[in-house]
Amino acid sequence: MESTTLPLDEADPTLRSGNTSQNDKIEINPDGSSATVSFEHLELDIQHPVSDEVLVLVEKRPRELVEGESYLYGDVLLATDSEKMAALADRAQLLKELPEHERARPLLELLRSELNYAHSDEIEALSETDPERAQWISVNSGVSATADNVPLSDVFEAGFGVCRELSVGYLWLAQQAGLRGVLSNSRYGTIQNIQRTDTDEPLFKSVDVGEPPNDHVWVELQMSDGTWLPVDPSVRLVGDNEEELRMFQDAHYQCFVAASLDASSDNRALYAQPKLGATIRAGEAQAEIAYHLELARISTMVLGGDEIAPTYEPYKGPAVMLLEIEDRNSAVHIGIIGATRVQQLSEVAEVVVGIMVDGDGVIDLSDEATRVEAGGIVHDAWLSRNEWAKGGELDVPFDQLIPEEQAKDISQIEVAQQIFSPEQ
């Protein structure tokens, strides 16, 4: 099977800026594991330091758990050689008689009948009656466990695990019930604790409402019609109804798209950069992720070892941006299915220069009010050119963006300050 090669933005050439060629192309690997964006001729300078954005479309894909494989960074080994797990598998197989959309909730009840969440207070209480078992859980499947490749069968025998063991166990049971899915994982700071609308209790016990829990893992099941149903066995949340699906969305459940990004050019003067966090929201099948090329900073030194502000050399010539999905057992399975150019990103530079002119070349970003105002100008200008972002997680005021997204807007101003500073 050959790679798919497509012209970039063929359907809407009006979105092109003057610093790229009409013959730019994207080549997508047959399995969707990588994409190469080729700019036939790219011209970047200090007035236009970034290329057009390339909007890459990725999709979530089911992954089969395999006996003997390790998952989630080697924490959980899928070993099912126990009478308890054999009995659970038999009971899960009986659920095939139900419509697929109705299997998720009884699967959760089946799992949680044998595997509890290892809350610290519960393990502490267990240590009073069964200290040996409590110690094993603390080391192997508790909140602060340090062991690697812990057999899932041992975890079921101990009766306690955290999100990683519960999620692997749930997806394994779902496979016995004839369902396919993925292990979805988020980074710290992505999910926010909320008040449940069904019980009026916090979704997570470990942190206050409004605060982020630690890195988290949950499961998403793919239905035969291509839709995805999220299930978090740790907090007993099943997105098979509007209310609970809304809670997934309100808590900002979104899985991280593990990918490596690189730029190549004749003189390595460029680097590749994503505009927004590479994530797919829980319950959604696809996501659009924007990438672009930027001029690389070139730092020089003066006598005494003091580093002066970085400079930028103009770039003119062909360039390539390579995006590779990291296909590993520790991340959700993702495939690239398309890409297009979406905007003239060079306009960002004009907005930043305008901010610098208004501030006589100096913007005090250490002042919170100034930082929010300047960042808001950059962010609002970006939103005005990106209709696809309307109604999404980035369609909020600058001060409501997550820190990672705020930093991307502020970095544009910091670069301009280093270049246009009066000291230069």
Q: For residue 132, is pLDDT > 60?
A: yes
* Predicted TM-score (pTM) of this structure: 0.76
Q: Which of 85-89, 136-140, 309-313, 360-364 has the lowest mean pLDDT?
A: 309-313
Mean pLDDT of 391-396: 79
Question: 166: number of CA atoms within 13 Å, CB side?
Answer: 29
Please tell me which residue, 1 or 136, carries the higher pLDDT value. Answer: 136
**268 contact partners, CB below 8 Å, separation of at least 6:** 296
Q: How much is the pLDDT for 171?
A: 98
Give the tens place of pLDDT for each residue, 283-322.
999 888 878 788 776 555 454 555 555 566 788 888 888 8
Handedness of CA 262, 282, 405, 9 (dihedral sign): positive
Q: For residue 179, is pLDDT > 90?
A: yes
In contact, 16 and 52? CB cutoff 8 Å? yes
Written as one letter, the residue type at 106 is P
Q: How much is the pLDDT for 292?
A: 78
Q: How much is the pLDDT for 57?
A: 85
Q: How much is the pLDDT for 4?
A: 46
Please tell me which residue, 59 or 187, carries the higher pLDDT value. Answer: 59
Please tell me which residue, 99 or 296, carries the higher pLDDT value. Answer: 99
Name the percent of the chain lying above pLDDT 90. Answer: 44
Q: For residue 331, is pLDDT > 60?
A: yes
Q: For residue 11, is pLDDT > 50?
A: no
Please tell me which residue, 382 or 79, carries the higher pLDDT value. Answer: 79
Q: How much is the pLDDT for 266?
A: 56
Q: How much is the pLDDT for 283?
A: 93
Mean pLDDT of 122-140: 96
Name the percent of the chain lying above pLDDT 70. Answer: 78
The DSSP 8-state label assigned to residue 399 in this structure reads: G
d(CA 200, CA 247): 12
Q: Residue 67 is encoded by which pair of tokens? A: 């006996």
Question: Does an H or E element contain 183, and which?
Answer: strand 180-186
- Reported in sequence order, the residue ranges of 233-380 that DSSP labels E, i.e. its strands, are 237-238, 254-256, 259-265, 270-274, 279-281, 286-295, 315-325, 334-343
In contact, 71 and 182? CB cutoff 8 Å? no
Q: Which of 28, 147, 75 is nearest to 330 (CA)?
A: 75
In contact, 229 and 218? CB cutoff 8 Å? no
- Other C-beta atoms closer than 10 Å to the C-beta of 350 total 12
Mean pLDDT of 70-91: 94
Please tell me which residue, 323 or 172, carries the higher pLDDT value. Answer: 172
d(CA 83, CA 14): 64
Q: From residue 388, how far is each of 114, 287, 334, 337 by CA, in Å?
A: 44, 11, 21, 17
Full 3-state SS string of 60-88: ECCCCCCCCCEECCCCEECCCCCHHHHHH
Q: How much is the pLDDT for 203?
A: 97
In contact, 192 and 211? CB cutoff 8 Å? yes
Q: For residue 346, is pLDDT > 70?
A: no
Which range has the top average pLDDT, 217-231, 276-290, 395-409? 217-231
CA 45 to chain centre: 31
Q: Residue 121 is encoded by which pair of tokens? A: 């207070």
Please tell me which residue, 260 or 179, carries the higher pLDDT value. Answer: 179
Please tell me which residue, 281 or 309, carries the higher pLDDT value. Answer: 281
Please tell me which residue, 62 or 302, carries the higher pLDDT value. Answer: 62
